[in-house]
Structure 1
Amino acid sequence: MPAYLRLIILGAIFICFGSGLSRAQSVLLNDPNQSYLLFERFSVLEVKSGTVTIDSLLRHPQAYAFRPGQKHTFRLNDQPKAYWLRLDLTNQTSQLFTLRIFLLSFNRMVLYETDGARVVNQRELTLKVTNTTDFFQHSKRIWPLHVSRGQTHTIYLYIDTIFATRLPLSAQSSGLLLRESHHEDLFYGFYSGFVLIVILYSLILFVRLGDWDNLLYAIWVFLIGCQIAYTSGQGVELSNQLHNLYFTFTPLFITCITLAHLLFLLSFLPLRQLAPGWYRVGLYFAGFFALTITAFIVLIILRQFTNTFIVSYFGILLGLLEWLFSLSVGIVAFRRGFRPALLFVIGTLVYYSSFIAYILLLVERLPFSFWTLHSGTIGSGLEILIFTLAMGNKVNLLKKRQDEAIREQLRLSEENHHLVERQKQELEQKVEQRTAELQESLTTLQSTQAQLIQKEKLASLGELTAGIAHEIQNPLNFVNNFSEVSTELVEELKSPLNPEGGIRPGEKMDMALFDDLTQNLTKITHHGGRASAIVKGMLEHSRASTGERTPTNLNALADEYLRLAYHGLRAKDKSANCQLITDFGAELPPVSVVPQEIGRVLLNLYNNAFYAVGQRVSIAGKDETYLPTVWVSTRQVNSHVEIGVSDNGMGIPDSIRDKIFQPFFTTKPTGEGTGLGLSLSYDIITKGHGGIMVVKSLEGEGAQFIIQLLCS
């Protein structure tokens, strides 16, 4: 065979072989009611990203060796690589067809429809959308084709990043697409309505019952609903910004869903009581998820966050770990008696089984169908339904336990009622007996109190005795002396008289003697009156007060009791000495008081002052610089009369100043005081006369008692 002929034959074989490799596979569209699955019909060309364009493919088709799709599997997220898919479509019907992509399992896809070497239709489809995107077409993932009846167009798909080993897509007529879209809208509408009802119901229960289970459950259901809406493409028509955010920060969103599910789990299952160790592990998991979310947010703020395949795998890994933990603790809680945990375990298994089914669909381990395509939505809906039943079961269980507790409470209440009735009868008897005893004790106490008060009065009377005796002694001495002198005068007057009463001759009556006698009798009467007045004052002081107030000269009252108290002091102790300084207001008005009671108060204050300076004298010893002094003053201050009694004795310590007006409190040795003096004095002034009684003291330098009484 000639050489040139061999060259011609080899060239023809090469051209035929090359054209066979570059020729696109063809699909015949002849039934408008059939959905044509196209992925395995495509020819696939693997290239380096950005090196091959549609123009180069159209100009030099023999230069690129496309391989059949059924023999090619995509490499997941192999970013330096890109893929060109090619397929011929021939329309033999009167309807137009639409290319439909079921999964957004790629980052960017460019679709070209060509007629020969001319591009008649072009569209770019990405995970994220812009304001110029047709949201309806993006949500349905459809691409209207321009191939008319009897025409054949070539479809080119360019993919630079893919997240699955297959790309489910089909060609459907407009009528079939409308019917299937309607069915999907009904499906997702039912799902969305169901999710919304569960969320609202849980929030209402949370508001009414305050149960955190319902709030956490509502949050988790909301996040799951959002995830389904955006992964299925339904959410793009609601908010394209949120759609872009979801696909930009998908790992963050998945981690938030995982954390919400874990928190609901820890709240729903009583792990703290049934399995404290598992509960602590759950808290550690929750803390780790929270830190992961925080780290994602920090990276986002620093603009260092990249949604790489590794980050996505990390989010999926966290979800799988939480799934294993959920199953484990659910089984533990169920085996330890919490029956709603069984529904929790079933719901978790259902959801993650559907999730695994969806993953198997992406890696070509399950066939493509409506059920596998929507397995995630179906699984999440069933999980929400089962979890809702579990929540209701828990409520019923708690209600049953509450009813049992109420019945037990009623039984115990009835027993307690009978016991209380018996104890009530016994208590009434004891109360009657105790009341009689208390009445008797009260009578005795009142009698004792009256005796103590009388004793205090007698004690103050005893303090006066010596002073009164001294006061009476002076007028009595005058009476005795003038009586003796008067007796001698009478004898002198009798000397000029005879036995018959006549005057002897030569005698005469000395009339001067009569004058002396009259003067003596006048003095006897005067000093007898003084003694009588002293005795009368003593009797008034000793007898019970009638409580009637009379206008009283407080200057005279204070001075009289000061003299009596001082004479009493001198009578008991001849060596006692004290300087008395008085400063009585010159124009002090009469004050309506009970004189006996005010006198008793003054006497008590005087005696205490004398006792205080005496104590300091005994401590000072022979200190000649110390002069015991007691000051008594009266003055009018506005509408009040003020009486002050001061001394330069030992003073009152701060620690006991608040106690001195308490009954039976005394600083005197046993037997020298009853502790009632100041208490009774305080009551007489404040309660009996509506006045004020205060004390001022500086320890070691003296004390001052001030009494204020309202003017008449």
Structure 2
Amino acid sequence: MGVIHSPNPQQIYMTTTSETGFILIVDDNPTNLSVLSAALSSAGFKFRVAVNGESAITQVERNPPELILLDVQMPGIDGFETCRRLKANQDSQHIPIIFTTALADIDSKTKGFSLGAVDYIPKPFSQEEVIARVRVHLQLKRLTESLERQLSDRTIALQQAQIQLVQQEKLSTLGELIAGVAHEINNPISFIFSNIEHLEEHIASITEILQLYQQEYLHPSAKITDASEELDLEFALKDIVKIINSFKLGTDRLRNLSLSLRNFSRADVDTKQPADLHQGLDSTLLILQHRLKSVGDRPRIEVVRSYGQLPEVNCYPGQINQVFMNILANAIDALDEAMIHSKMSASIPQIQITTDIDAQNCVNIRIADNGMGIPDLIQERLFEPLFTTKPVGKGTGLGLSIAHQIIVEKHNGILKVNSQPGQGTEFSIKIPIRD
């Protein structure tokens, strides 16, 4: 459709160009509209018109233009106020605005630029000047958008590289820290454990001698009798045996924890090696044992292991253990959250771990909780870097992203989530037994 040179002010003007987007002309003067329409039409631009500020704002909200030619002096809200409102709206603040005005004083121009305008076109109009300024600002806008897209792409690439570095550094630092802690625990525990047997033998010998004294000296002095009764010697001798047994039980648990820490932090970043994944799961659960205990109104979390017969899997054991840690810790968080909101799918919080081998000679590990479940919209973003639903300070949004990278990229496997609101969540891991 060609340009109508005697326009009805309410008419929408269009040219037949193939340019993307359009230019919005805002002016209450039919003559000005006609001149600007002719100028834009001759250069092949699409355009529409609005006869006042209110109409312009409505049109922009409905269909944003690429650029706005805005008259300053109009009835109702003037061009300055129209510009201010458009720039205050997040959806329209990026649209370039060129003022068209007969006002040539410095104050008016300064006010326009301070409100966010990019240029002025003085009246009476010169078609060549209108076309030149419009072209320049459209080119600037498109160049800016192109640069922003490139910057966004590079930012995403940089972010992914940073996440990989964070993952490697995190695993390395965590492994060194846990290995160091395990070593520090192991030394004193080994000393205590190795001496308990000697202590037990000494106490048994002393007990035997005391019993011989009791048999040989049937009538001890009053002082010895009083001391023996005050101590309750018979009870003390029996209690010492129980204390020694408690020492042995405690040191056994600490030795198992130290072993679990060493297994969890296995330094294997360079090469894959055969590993018992059940041992990795059990080590991780032992480290998380303190979080499985009852807390406040939340009862102890029950862990149900349904382990199949698994061969050793060629993998990076430390990294696989990190995946187990992230998923199990998230399951515990989910059960804590469900208990807070009284939305447990069962009265007893539970984590179920199932393992088996499928027909493709892959190991399948499923870790399921009976918490609140995860909405579909959140499930779609769970493995995105830096995405988290946890409060500030409670999560980085990297745990599941790193877990996904470890399983998919490092082990050529699959990590999926399946959840229904109110019915809990299941993470499934699938990795080949051999490369």
TM-score, normalised with respect to structure 1:
0.30
Structure ranking higher in helix proportion: 1
